[in-house]
Amino acid sequence: MGRTTRLLGALQQGEKILDLLGPLGEPTDHPQGKNAVCIGGGVGVAPVYPEAKSLHARGYQVTTIIGARTGELLFFEEEMAAVSDELYIATDDGSKGEKGFVTDVLQKLIDGGRSIDFVIAVGPIPMMKAVADLTRKYGIKTIVSLNSLMVDGTGMCGGCRVTVGGEVKFTCVDGPAFDAHLLDFDEQMRRLSMYKDLEKKQEVCD
């Protein structure tokens, strides 16, 4: 992965790559209701942007919350503001927006009586799990989008296997969007940590 990333970054104008696979999986099925909250954490801001843009264009009331460890790592602020009725920012260190996590902002919206029909959250697994744990208490439908490790993109390798509602699913063919209240986040975190040692070795080799 590391070597491939650097090679792609080193390509010059006119050079080519062999092929590109995607998009994979199924389109996101948005629940009933017109009041949506889109949450993006870290690089998850990028994939949640088209969700917010699509919902906004179709007349949904879109409240967006984006977060990062620090303000320097935030991006797409203007883009997200343009497709949102309201935009909130949270940073771990308080360097931009509210000091805290995206779930802190979401909790304040709920406590303030905000009408929320569903939430779409994209970001690190711990963040999405925290969002799911919060919305579950209030019965707010929540969808998360996974960035599981994928190998062949057909579900044959099993690298992106997840458990949803006790059933085995594959992110590359059944996802990437799943019901957050049915997803086994603990299993997903264990699977994503399986190759950490190998990834470190790869970085050293590169």
Q: What are phi and psi of 131, to 5 degrees?
A: -65, -45
Helix (H) or strand (E) holding 130: helix 125-138
C-beta separation of 89 from 77 below 8 A: yes
Question: Cα(84)–Cα(166) distance, rounded to whole angstroms?
Answer: 35
Whether residue 176 has a cis bond before it, omega within 30° of 0: yes
Q: Are residues 153 and 186 in the same domain?
A: yes
In this predicted structure, what is the pLDDT of residue 1? 40
39, 131: one domain: yes
Phi and psi dihedrals of 25, rounded to 5? 80, -155
At 19 the pLDDT is 73
Domain count along the chain: 2
Q: Is residue 206 situated within a structural domain?
A: no
- Verify that 110 and 132 share a domain, yes or no: yes
Closest by CA to 159, choosing from 198, 111, 107, is 198
- Domain identity same for 39 and 138: yes
H or E element that contains 35:
strand 35-41
Please tell me the predicted confidence (pLDDT) of residue 141: 97
Q: Are residues 111 and 170 in the same domain?
A: no
| Full pLDDT tens readout for the chain, 206 residues | 444 455 677 888 888 887 777 778 888 888 888 999 999 999 999 999 999 999 999 999 999 999 999 999 999 999 999 999 999 999 999 999 999 999 999 999 999 999 999 999 999 999 999 999 999 999 999 999 998 877 777 888 888 899 999 999 999 999 999 999 999 999 988 887 776 776 666 555 55
Beta bridge partners of 168: 163
CA distance 151 to 141: 30
Whether 88 and 152 map to the same domain: the answer is: no
Among 171, 164, 156, residue whose Cα is nearest residue 187:
164
- Give the residue numbers spanning the domain of 102: 31-145
Residues with Cβ within 8 Å of 192's Cβ and at least 6 positions away in sequence, in order, are: 125, 148, 149
List CB contacts of 97: < 8 A, sequence separation 6 or more.
67, 71, 88, 89, 90, 91
- For residue 204, the model assigns a pLDDT of 53
